Amino acid sequence: MTATVDTPLLTVEDLRVSFAYGGRPVEVVHGVDLSVGVGESVGIVGESGSGKSVTGRAIMGILPTPPARTTAKRMEIAGQDLRGGGVPEAGDGHQGQPIAMIFQNPFTALNPVFRVGSTLTEALVKRRGMSRSDATAEAVRLLDRVRIPNAKSRIRNYPHEFSGGMQQRIVIALALALEPRLLIADEPTTALDVTVQAEILELLREIQTERTMGMIFISHALGVVAEVVSRVNVMYAGRIVESGPVGSVYDDPKHPYTQALLLAAPKVGQFRTRTFGIPGSPPDPSSPPPGCAFHPRCALATDVCRDTVPDVRPRLAGGSGTASCHHAGESLVAEGATR
């Protein structure tokens, strides 16, 4: 696997997650490789149920175990092994934590019965070892940074007294309070209006540059991902099916699933007489199809797809990125497969 950034921050090899509810465990993430460089921003895109959120939560160490079970050949951040489970510690006492996470729904991500200031200072006191008064001052600074107006007085408000966009800013401030070297953003703008979405994306970009913080940006919206990341991983049915620099993946998708996703995404300024959808739906993780998991929905599928799981292979000879497809490079459109 090829990393595009010289100094790796996060390295994940062969991450597998399974869930056991009473009966036989069901694997939902089947050997994901992922790397994020220092200050680099990496995207994971896929439909709901593709395992992208589970991947993020597994790295964060917040999957409920049991029923979840996480294994990996390697999973480390800046040399620190993450495989022990649980939320990673900085290792050297009250220094925050190496990874922080923000979530999809800002309306439910903050505890409704605590003032936002109290939520922030609790993290600062417990995770950064600050005194109460230092923590309060720092909380105001953080809210200022995420552009909450009148942070000094707003700190005494409850979450429900903020708009959704403002609440997501507070969630970001809470993540920043931990001084993370990597931020995992799980669909952070999906629940927000388009204009608010743009502001949050802008804020994330700024903070990321200013702190040289790595970021994993998880989303189902390809356009949103393209705005914030330099490299993208396309996930389908618990596997990364294609990865590479965002420009080259979007301009020249090699995997039929990526091609289909891009065809299905609406584009501004483009008038279409018909929309394109991907026929069928993602497989049930408890009974995945044999071979390539995408073959039942793939117009290019041949016999080999039906019985052999494709290897991870380079997208382009000598270039960066991977595609896991027996027919990588063949074009869905050229085949006239837009049913």
Partner 1 sequence: MLTGDLGQSVRSLQPVTSVLGERLPVTGLLAIGATLLTIVVAVPLGILAAVRKRKFADRALLVTSALSLAVPSFFLGILLLIAFAVNLRWFPVYGYKQLGEGVWPSIQGIALPVVALAVPQTAVVARMTRASMLEVLSQDYVVTARATGLSRLRVYYRHALKNALIPIVTVVGLNFGALLGGTVIIEQVFNFPGLGTLLINSVNARDYSIIQGIVLLFGAAYIVINLSVDIVYAYLDPRVRYGQS
CB of 178 to partner 1, least distance (A): 7
Instruction: Determine if 246 is a binding residue for partner 1 (CB under 8 A).
Output: no
Interface with partner 1, residue 68, by CB under 8 A: no
Could you say whether residue 174 binds partner 1 (CB under 8 A)?
yes
Give the number of other Cβ atoms within 10 Å of residue 260's Cβ.
23
Site mask, partner 1, residues 177-216, x = CB under 8 A? Answer: -x--------------------------------------
Tell me the closest approach of the beta carbon of residue 110 to partner 1, in angstroms: 6
Tell me: does residue 23 bind partner 1 (CB under 8 A): no
Q: Between 47 and 66, how does the x/- string for binding to partner 1 read (CB under 8 A)?
A: -------------x-x----
Q: Phi-psi bin for 263: left (phi > 0), alpha (psi -120 to 50), beta?
A: alpha
DSSP bridge partners of 316: none
Nearest one of 186, 242, 175 to 211, comparing CA atoms = 175
The residues, ordered by sequence, that sit 6+ positions from 9 with a Cβ below 8 Å of its Cβ are 36, 37, 38, 39, 40, 77, 78, 181, 182, 214
Q: Shortest approach of partner 1 to residue 90 CB, angstroms?
A: 9
Q: How far apart are CA 42 and CA 208, in angstroms?
A: 12
Classify strands 74-77 and 80-81 as parallel, antiparallel or unpaired: antiparallel
Nearest to 94 by CA among 61, 135, 128: 128
Smallest gap, in angstroms, from Cβ of residue 197 to partner 1? 19
Using rule CB under 8 A, residue 111 touches partner 1? yes
Rounded to a whole number of angstroms, the minimum distance from the CB of residue 321 to partner 1 is 30
Residues that bind partner 1 (CB under 8 A): 60, 62, 87, 89, 97, 100-101, 103, 105, 108-115, 122-123, 126-127, 158, 160-161, 171, 174, 178
